[in-house]
Structure 1
Amino acid sequence: MADLIFCEPTELYNILNQVSKLSRLAEPNYLCLLDVRSKRQYDESHVITALRVKKRDHQYLIPESVDLECVRYCIVYDSNTSSLELSVRRWQDEEEEEEEEEEGKEKDKEEDTELLPGPAVEFGQILIHFTRQPVYVLRGGYECFSGMYHFFRTQKIIWMPQELDAFQPYPIEILPGKVFLGKISQACNAKMHKDLKIKAHVNISLETTPYFVGNADKLLHVKVEDTPDSILFPFLRHICHFMELHLRLGSVILVFSTRGISRSAAAVVAFLMHYNEETLKRSWAHVKKCKTNMRPNRALVAQLLEWERVLHGEYLTDISEPIY
C-alpha cells in the first residue's frame, strides 16, 4: 500500500512544468490530477488537466480513464485542505446539495457536523490501495494554488494529445516566489514575465533577450558558451551577490541559459550553496528535485566542487559518486 503525503503548491507547479523534449503532461502515465470539489466549483475553474472525481451513493468513484498503478504522480485536491488529520465537516456535502438543486428536489439540509478527514484526504486514503507511488494531497487545496498561480486556472475539461504536446511550460520554481530557472525562450516570453512578476535576469548564455537591455541593475549577462569545457567559476561570486541583492530588494529573479539544463542550473546550484551555506550535494539535490532534467556537464560539476571548497574551506561532496 502506498503512502499518503502532502504536496506543496510549488511542487505541483514544478510537476506541471517538467519537460523532456515536450511537456511531460503529454505522457499518459506522468500525472493524474484529481479535483474532489463540487461540480459547480469545478466548472467555474480548476487546475489545468485536472479530472473531476464523481460520487455515487455517497461513495467516490475511481476514474476509469487512468491506470493508477502506473501513474508517476497522483495528486488530489479539494478547496482548502491544510491537514492530513481529522477536521470538522458538514455531513451533507456540497456536491449532493447541488445535484438536488439541479433536479428540483426539496429536501431538508442536514446541519449536523462531525470529525471527518477533508475530502482530498478521504479520497486519497482510498487511492493508496490502487497506486504504487505515493498519493499526494495538495496543501491548501485549490484556493491556495490558484491564488499563487492564477494563470493555471482553466474551465477546459478535455485536453487533446496535440494540445498537451503544444503546452508551453513555465520556468521552474527554485525558491518559491523568488528564484526561477528557465531557458531562453521563456526569458523572451512576455506573458510568463507578467505572470511570474520577473524583475531581474541572470543570463548565462551568448544569446540576448529584449528585457532589461542596458540596465546593469536588473540584468547580469554572463557570456559563457555551452561547451564541455565551459568556464563559469570566475563569475560565481558575482552571480551570487547579484541574486542576493535582488532578493533583499524583493525582486523575482529568472536565471536562464539556452536550454536551461546545464549552465544556468549550475549557477543556481552555486547560488543555493552560497545563500543557504549548503554543500554541493544538498544544493544539487534541491535543484534536481525541482527540475528533473537538469544536467550540468562534468566541467561545471568540477567547478561547483571548487566553489564548495571556497565556501566551506574543504571539499565535502564526492563527485566521483553519481550525484545526477
Structure 2
Amino acid sequence: MAEIMMCEPFELYNLLNQCSCVSRLAEINYLCLIDARETQDYRMSHIITAKNVKMDSEGMFLLPEAVEVDSMRHMVVYDSNTSCLQEQGRAVECAQALAKASLHPVHIVRGGFQRFSALYHFLRTEKIIYTIMELESLKIYPVEVLAGLLYMGDQKQGMDSSILKDLKISAFISMLQSDTQDRAPTIVNKLFLNCYKYFLVSFIEAGNQLMFCLLFSDTHINMGSKVLIVSRQGRSRCSAVTIAFLMHHLKYTLEQAWTHLLKCKSSMRPNRGFMQQLSEWELHKTGTKVNDIFEPHF
C-alpha cells in the first residue's frame, strides 16, 4: 500500500505547470488528479484536468476508469476543504482506495478545492473531457518557488500580460542573453512595464550584477511583493539566479537550493559554468566548500 501524504496547493500548482516542449499534462502516465467531492460540485467547477471519482453501492470509492493507477507518477486527491490526514473526509477515504493500487505516494491537497481555487482561480474550469491536442496547448504558468512570493519562468511567460495579472506579479527580473538585450526597450514597452518594477541583467556573474539582482528580489519579497525571474528558455540562467537567491534569502546550501528548485521545476538545468560560479560563491560566503558540483545529483 502506497503512503498517503498531504501536499500544499502550490505543489499541485507546480505539477500542473510542468512542461517539456508542451504541457506534461498531455503525458498519459504523468498526473492523475482526482476530485473527491460530490458530482454536482465537480460539475459546477473543478481544478483543470481533474476527474471526478465514483462510488459503489456500498459507498466505497472506485478506482478511476481508464486510468492505470499503478503506472501513474503523481496521484493527487482533493475534496472541499480537508486540511489534515486525521480528518475522515472524502479526500482521505478516496486516497486510501487509490493507495492500494498506486506504486507512488498519494497526495491530498491541504485545504482542498476551497483553498486552491482561492489562490489559483484561473486554474478552475467546468471542462471535463480533453483531447491530447487540447492538453498540449494548455497555458503554462511560471513555477512557484516560494509560495505567493517568488516565481520562475521563460521569456514568453514574462511577456504574457494575462499571466502577470493572474499571478499578481509586481516586480520581475529578466535574464536576457546578449542577442535580446538590445531589444529590451521594445519588450518593456510592449508589456507596459511602467506598471512593474523591472530589473534587466544581461548575464550572471559572481560580482555586482548578481548582488544587485539579489538585493532587488530581497527588497520586494520582504515587502510582500510577488517577483518573477525569467530567462529565454526558463531553464538555465533564471535557475542559476533563483538558486543564488535561495542561498542568499533562506541561507540554503547550494545542494539545498538545488533540491528545492528541482522539486518546483523538474526541467531546470543551470549550465556547468553557472554552477561553478555558484559553488565559488558558496565558498566565498561560508568559507568552506560545502558541496561538490561534480556529484551525480548535480
Tell me, yes or no, whether TM beats 0.5.
yes
Q: Does 1:303 align with 2:274?
A: no
> Secondary structure, in 3 states, of the residue corresponding to 1:32?
strand
1:154-169 to 2 correspondences below 5 Å = 154-169=125-140
CA distance in 2, matches of 1:248, 1:280: 22
1:1-324 to 2 correspondences below 5 Å = 1-57=1-57, 58-85=59-86, 87=87, 117-206=88-177, 207=180, 208=184, 209-210=187-188, 211=191, 213=193, 218-224=197-203, 231-234=204-207, 235-324=209-298
CA distance in 1, matches of 2:194, 2:146: 27
Partners of 1:204 and 1:221 within 8 A in 2: yes
Query: For residue 78 of structure 1, what is the amino acid of its counterpart?
Result: D
Partners of 1:2 and 1:135 within 8 A in 2: yes
Query: For residue 131 of structure 1, what is the amino acid of its counterpart?
Result: S
Q: State the Cα RMSD in Å.
A: 1.4
Partners of 2:61 and 2:93 within 8 A in 1: no
> Could you list the per-position Cα deviations for residues 121-153 of structure 1 after superposition, in whole angstroms to 9, with x for gaps in the alignment?
111111111010111111110001001000000
> Secondary structure, in 3 states, of the residue corresponding to 2:49?
coil
Q: Percent identity?
A: 43
| Structure possessing the higher radius of gyration over alpha carbons | 1
Partners of 1:80 and 1:141 within 8 A in 2: yes
Question: How far did residue 213 of structure 1 move?
Answer: 5.0
TM-score between the two structures when normalised by the length of structure 1: 0.86
Question: How far did residue 248 of structure 1 move?
Answer: 2.2
Query: For residue 221 of structure 1, what is the amino acid of its counterpart?
Result: L
> Could you list the per-position Cα deviations for residues 12-49 of structure 1 after superposition, in whole angstroms to 9, with x for gaps in the alignment?
00000001111100000000000110111101100000
> Secondary structure, in 3 states, of the residue corresponding to 2:170?
strand
Question: How far did residue 55 of structure 1 move?
Answer: 1.4
TM-score between the two structures when normalised by the length of structure 2: 0.93
> Secondary structure, in 3 states, of the residue corresponding to 1:167?
coil
> Could you list the per-position Cα deviations for residues 160-195 of structure 1 after superposition, in whole angstroms to 9, with x for gaps in the alignment?
110001112100000111100000000010110100
**Per residue, is there more helix in 1 or in 2?**
2
Gaps in structure 2 of 5+ consecutive residues: none
Gaps in structure 1 of 5+ consecutive residues: 88-116, 225-230
> Secondary structure, in 3 states, of the residue corresponding to 1:56?
coil
> Secondary structure, in 3 states, of the residue corresponding to 1:59?
coil
**In the superposition, relative to structure 1, how do residues 270 and 125 fare at CA in structure 2: closer, same or farther (>3 Å)?**
same
Query: For residue 82 of structure 2, what is the amino acid of its counterpart?
Result: T
Partners of 1:212 and 1:219 within 8 A in 2: no
Question: How far did residue 212 of structure 1 move?
Answer: 6.2
